[in-house]
Amino acid sequence: MKILHIDKNHPLMLSQLSAQGFENYEDYTSSKETIEAKIADYDGIIIRSRFPIDKTFLDKATRLKFIGRVGAGLENIDCNYAESKGITLIAAPEGNRNAVGEHALGMLLALLNKFKKANNEIKNGKWLREENRGWELDGKTVGIIGYGNMGKSFAKKLRGFDCNVICYDILPDKGDENAKQVTLVDFFRQADIVSLHTPQTPQTEKMINAAFINSFAKSFWFLNTARGKSVVTDDLVHALQNGKVLGAALDVLEYEKASFEDFFSDGQMPESFKYLLEADNVILTPHIAGWTLESKEKLAQIIVDKIIDQFAWRIGLFEN
């Protein structure tokens, strides 16, 4: 079976697949159109987020048996159409869930303890203690929206704190020993901290808007390590300005491009984004919550294991 790799990943992927009899081909620079022109020659493709795999691409991939996405989400792939053509979709949400949980916890503690503000002030020669008095996590209610791999990982990291952890998910019976599942009404009523861990779907796009934010009984801190397009940035900024949101830690942004390259290359920056950059109570990171040295290896290993488990037995059939 011939596999086309269009994003660089951990080297174990190439070596282990080759050892199992798969033929690896690499193309990390060609345009989508060039890849489309030759995709009919391949049985599998490995991608991170270089470009979307749409119907046009899939129609030209007449031999394709699987798509391996080295990451958690599949929103850049037309999943329904791929599956209708008998193409297996392989992702690895298990691979970076620990990294996301740790990142979310780090961002939360930095937010509560005003690390950004204090660090910037010291750099400018200011030594302000009372002005940087923070809040303790103990005694707070942390609300997790979306209780899958990432949400569960974050909840597990919170076990060392004396805080109350609740979760809301559209699926029933998702709660566990680390988080109590509650109704959305109770979630709105109880949460002091809100952490988003949902996939990007039509239902979650623009979900965190003014109406959603104003449904909370208390002002709250907000974390997003999920997808940027789930948040209406203008509404979040307004809530930060009026105090409904006490602070925000954002690893993802509404403005991100699907391929994760730099945005605002034309120099046109929205006013809301300028506010996020300058606000003392906002922490930003460039979509790296699941981006550790360890997760790079785990993601590759999980994809390799799934490919071998599902397709290695077919190699002899193809050779014959």
Q: pLDDT tens across 251-270, in order?
A: 999 998 765 556 666 667 88
181-211 pLDDT, tens per residue?
Answer: 999 999 999 999 999 999 999 999 999 999 9
Structure tokens, 266: 């034309």
User: Which of 61, 87, 63, 64 has its CA nearest to residue 74?
Assistant: 87
Query: Look-up: residue for tokens 């996590």?
Result: 137
d(CA 257, CA 185): 33
pLDDT per residue as tens digits for the range 92-125:
999 999 999 999 999 999 999 999 999 999 999 9
CB of 111 within 8 A of CB of 118?
no
CATH architecture assignment, domain 2-91+293-314: 3-Layer(aba) Sandwich (3.40)
Mean pLDDT (whole number) for 285-301: 96
Q: Which two tokens stand for residue 43?
A: 């049985």
In three-state form (DSSP H/G/I as H, E/B as E, the rest C), the secondary structure along 84-135 is: HCCCEEECCHHHHHHHHHHHHHHHHHHHHCCHHHHHHHHHCCCCCCHHHCCC
Residue spans of the domains in the chain: they are 2-91+293-314, 96-284
* Phi and psi based region of residue 242 (left: phi greater than 0; alpha: psi -120 to 50; beta: remaining): alpha
pLDDT of residue 320: 42
Q: Please write the tens of the pLDDT for every residue from 5-50.
A: 999 999 999 999 999 999 999 999 999 999 999 999 999 999 998 8
What is the percent of the chain with per-residue pLDDT over 70, rounded to a whole number?
A: 95
- The candidate with the shortest Cα–Cα distance to 239, out of 259, 213, 265, is 213
Q: What is the pLDDT of residue 73?
A: 84
Average pLDDT for residues 277-290, to the nearest whole number?
Answer: 96
On the question of a common fold for 2-91+293-314 and 96-284, the answer reads: yes
Q: Which fold has domain 96-284?
A: Rossmann fold (3.40.50)
Average pLDDT score, the chain: 94
Amino acid sitting at position 12? L
